[in-house]
Amino acid sequence: MSDLRQLQSLVAKVRQARGFTMDPVRIFALLSEEIGEVAGELKRTWSPNYDAFSKEDLQSEIADALVCLLALANQFEIDLEQALIDKLVVRDGQREWKSAAGSAPTIRLCEANDLPTVHAIINDAAQAYKGVIPEDRWHDPYMPLEELQQEITQGVEFWGYEEGGELIGVIGLQQVQDVSLIRHAYVRTARQRRGVGTRLLTHLRKQATRPMLAGTWADAVWAIRFYQKHGFRLVSPEEKDRLLRKYWSIPPRQVETSVVLADERCYRAEHDSR
Ligand SMILES: CC(C)(COP(=O)(O)OP(=O)(O)OC[C@H]1O[C@@H](n2cnc3c(N)ncnc32)[C@H](O)[C@@H]1OP(=O)(O)O)[C@@H](O)C(=O)NCCC(=O)NCCS
């Protein structure tokens, strides 16, 4: 590779021929000015108060800034190409990039210090129920903190989908008797329908060893569709009443207004017991 080296010597020749300043401090002042010009062009990409963004204008400003950088390197006889390879490829290549690791999405078990965020996610996502589920079942906040704490005390463990160090969605899992219950699947409103719920549910299903049941409001048609898309089936109203009473601890009115969906292991278990 020798393009950058050639470019650096071309810049030196042209600047010298034109009588441009060779003083590094002045070159630096010009560089700062050109960087400002780059910012000015980029501003046009979002601000309606300026002329339309032009790629050619941006290109020209970036080129001016690069010329200043190359000129600065020339003044100190820096081989920029070698410096770049040493830094970017060799030295940086051996470093651990925390920012990159932090932005890769992960699914992890939520801890005690996540509680305020889990609480916020649930109550944000639960806004979907407002005006949809029976009025006497809706309250604001939908899930008070004490209720969430109680759920955790009763064995609900929350898994969270984290991206860029931020929790985006949560799903609760509770082992009760011979089944696993999916409890409280919630994805931040602004991030719904982009596969986060699917990844959380798939994560739980991969580790499941028992039949899985999910309960939701009968009126939450989107949630029913979500589980159906993942192979869950609605159980009959009679079976729903039986399952909710057997495995959940919820008031009779919630039993009345809810549905239960069961995964393949449940139908197989049911079929085998016949
Ligand atoms: C239900 C929920 C957890 C799903 O998570 P998600 O990240 O939005 O879901 P995904 O993107 O993985 O899957 C999307 C699928 O779920 C269903 N779905 C989710 N939100 C929907 C909506 N608002 N309208 C219609 N279908 C919806 C659809 O089947 C959709 O598939 P599609 O986009 O191909 O039509 C999330 O939408 C949510 O928090 N909703 C509000 C609270 C809730 O209902 N929780 C369920 C409690 S048990």
Query: CATH number of the domain that 72 lies in?
Result: 1.10.287.1080
Residues with CB under 6 A from ligand 1: 125-126, 128, 185-187, 192-198, 216, 220, 222-223, 225-226, 229
Instruction: Return the ligand 1 atom nearest residue 171 CA.
Output: 3
For 44-175, where are the alpha helices, taking DSSP H only?
55-75, 80-84, 98-103, 115-125, 145-153
In this structure, which residue's CA is closest to atom 25 in ligand 1? Answer: 222
Q: What is the pTM of this model?
A: 0.69
User: At 49, is the pLDDT very low, low, confident or very high (cuts 50, 70, 90)?
Assistant: confident
Q: Say if residue 101's pLDDT is above 70.
A: no
The residue contributing the CA closest to ligand 1 atom 17 is: 226
Please tell me whether residues 157 and 196 are part of one structural domain: yes
CA distance 234 to 215: 10
In this model, does residue 60 exceed pLDDT 90?
yes
The residue from 42, 73, 94 where one domain ends is: 94
148 in the same domain as 251: yes
Please give the tally of structural domains in the chain: 2
Tokens of 129: 């129920």
The pLDDT score that the predictor gives to residue 269 is 67
Based on the fold, state whether residues 241 and 260 are members of the same structural domain: yes
**Same structural domain for residues 10 and 131?**
no
The whole-angstrom separation of Cα 131 and Cα 217 is: 13
Question: pLDDT tier at 271 (50, 70, 90 boundaries)?
Answer: low
Ligand 1 probe mutation, 163, 193, 219, 232, most atoms within 8 A of CB? 193
pLDDT band at 270 (very low <50, low <70, confident <90, very high): low
193 Cα: distance to centroid of ligand 1 (angstroms): 5
CA 183 to ligand 1: nearest atom: 48
Q: Which atom of ligand 1 is nearest to the CA of 199?
A: 12
Is 117 in the same domain as 41?
no
Give 96's pLDDT tier (boundaries 50, 70, 90): confident
The pLDDT tens digits for 189-223 are 999 999 999 999 999 999 889 999 999 999 999 99
Strand ranges for the chain from DSSP E: 106-109, 157-163, 166-176, 179-187, 212-217, 233-234, 258-262
**Interval between CA 239 and ligand 1 midpoint (Å):** 25
Ligand 1 atom at minimum distance from 214 CA? 48
What average pLDDT does range 71-87 have in this prediction? 92
Instruction: Give the pLDDT confidence score for residue 243 in this predicted structure.
Output: 96
Same domain, 160 and 265: yes
| Same-domain status, 130 and 263 | yes
**In whole numbers, what is the pLDDT of the chain averaged over residues?**
93
The residue that leads in pLDDT, 231 or 98, is 231
- Kindly give the number of the ligand 1 atom that is closest to the alpha carbon of 186: 39
Query: Ligand 1 test: best mutation among 192, 212, 228, most atoms within 8 Å of CB?
Result: 192
Q: Are residues 47 and 132 in the same domain?
A: no
pLDDT greater than 80 at residue 149: yes
- Does one domain contain both 64 and 142? no
pLDDT > 90? residue 93: no
Local structure of residue 236 (DSSP, 8 states): P
pLDDT (mean) for 172-180? 96
Return the number of other C-beta atoms located less than 10 Å from residue 4's C-beta. 17
Closest CA to 23 of 85, 74, 88: 74
CATH number, domain containing residue 114: 3.40.630.30
Taking residues 131-152, what's their average pLDDT? 95
Cα separation, 213 vs 261, whole angstroms: 6
- Ligand 1: which residue has its CA nearest to atom 14? 193
Q: What is the domain extent for residue 141?
A: 102-273
Least confident of 46-60, 90-104, 239-253: 90-104
Which residue in this structure is represented by tokens 């780059």? 38
179 and 62 share one domain: no
Cα of 49 from ligand 1 centre, angstroms: 38
Identify whether residues 157 and 51 lie together within a single domain.
Answer: no
